[in-house]
């Protein structure tokens, strides 16, 4: 039986759709730039898929659709204020010539494992016709995978689940059924990072903080 392998990459910056089972307790704002001009219906379904995956971990995604021609000055300002880890950027681009064609996305991290931008390669995903999952589903999973890298930091690939470095045939089948998710340990790590950021921000503003 043929094995399908899809890959993802992390880049270190040096000096050069289902209903969630639970109510999310944590939130991340994601500025989404549709540079590849993904059709609106595909994009909306992909967002719903990514939102579902994070909601399974107790994290709510608040989407900002950025880079639109009819964007207001207020929207443009909101889209240009990334703040790790609570405000992240995802760019859906056509591709990346310097990476193998099997790579569907990349996250940009500092040596300390901090980063606020990820790219997802739409042309490569759209050209892939062997997946049992819908195009919008694979796109949504790719977006969630790269956001996972930004929230988990360096060396965040795992042997199984959503954060596998390579998605194989069984993973794609599980994806089509909504069964490929973050592990409990990954969910706790992401929420711990968001909680730490929120507490530090409240402290810097001189406000009393309530623990979770």
Tokens coding 117? 């931008």
Instruction: Give the CATH number, domain containing residue 74.
Output: 3.40.390.10
Tokens coding 182? 């973050």
Question: In the prediction, which pLDDT does 202 show?
Answer: 66
CA 167, 169, 175, 179 dihedral sign is negative
Question: In the prediction, which pLDDT does 63 show?
Answer: 97
Q: Does residue 211 lie in a domain region?
A: no
Q: Does residue 141 lie in a domain region?
A: yes
The structure's pTM equals: 0.83
DSSP string, 141-165: HHHHHHHHHHHH-SS---SSSTT-S
pLDDT in tens, the chain (212 residues): 334 445 555 554 433 344 444 444 699 999 999 999 999 999 999 999 999 999 999 999 999 999 998 889 999 999 988 888 999 999 999 988 888 888 999 999 999 889 999 999 999 998 876 667 889 999 999 999 999 999 999 889 999 889 998 888 888 888 888 889 999 999 999 999 998 887 777 666 655 544 43
Phi and psi dihedrals of 143, rounded to 5? -65, -45
Q: How many domains does the chain have?
A: 1
Q: Does residue 209 lie in a domain region?
A: no
Contact 103, 9 (CB under 8 A): yes
Question: In the prediction, which pLDDT does 64 show?
Answer: 96
Q: Does residue 210 lie in a domain region?
A: no
Q: Does residue 212 lie in a domain region?
A: no
Q: Does residue 153 lie in a domain region?
A: yes
Q: Does residue 34 lie in a domain region?
A: yes
Edge to edge, what strands does the sheet with 87-93 contain?
A: 59-66, 26-33, 87-93, 117-121, 103-109, 6-12, 166-167
Tokens coding 103? 């790579």
Domain that holds residue 169: 6-204
> CA–CA separation, 179 vs 97, rounded Å?
31
Q: Does residue 156 lie in a domain region?
A: yes
Question: In the prediction, which pLDDT does 161 show?
Answer: 87
């Amino acid at each position: 039986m043929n094995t399908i392998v899809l890959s993802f990459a992390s880049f270190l910056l040096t000096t050069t759709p289902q209903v969630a089972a639970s109510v999310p307790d944590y939130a991340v704002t994601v500025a989404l730039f549709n540079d590849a001009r993904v059709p609106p219906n595909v994009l909306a379904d992909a967002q719903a898929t990514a939102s579902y995956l994070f909601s399974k971990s107790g994290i709510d995604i608040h989407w900002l659709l950025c880079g639109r021609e009819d964007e207001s000055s207020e929207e443009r300002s909101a889209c240009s204020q990334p703040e790790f880890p609570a405000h992240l950027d995802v760019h859906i681009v056509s591709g990346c010539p310097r990476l193998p064609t099997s790579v569907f996305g990349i996250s940009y991290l500092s040596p300390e494992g901090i980063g606020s931008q990820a790219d997802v390669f739409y042309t490569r995903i759209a050209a892939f016709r062997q997946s049992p999952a819908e195009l919008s589903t694979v796109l949504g999973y790719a977006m969630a995978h790269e956001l996972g890298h930004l929230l988990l930091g360096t060396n965040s690939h795992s042997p199984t689940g959503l954060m596998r470095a390579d998605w194989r045939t069984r993973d794609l089948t599980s994806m089509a059924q909504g069964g490929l998710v973050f592990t409990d340990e990954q969910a706790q790590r992401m929420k711990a990072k968001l909680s730490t950021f929120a507490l530090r921000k409240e402290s810097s503003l001189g406000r009393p903080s309530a623990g979770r």
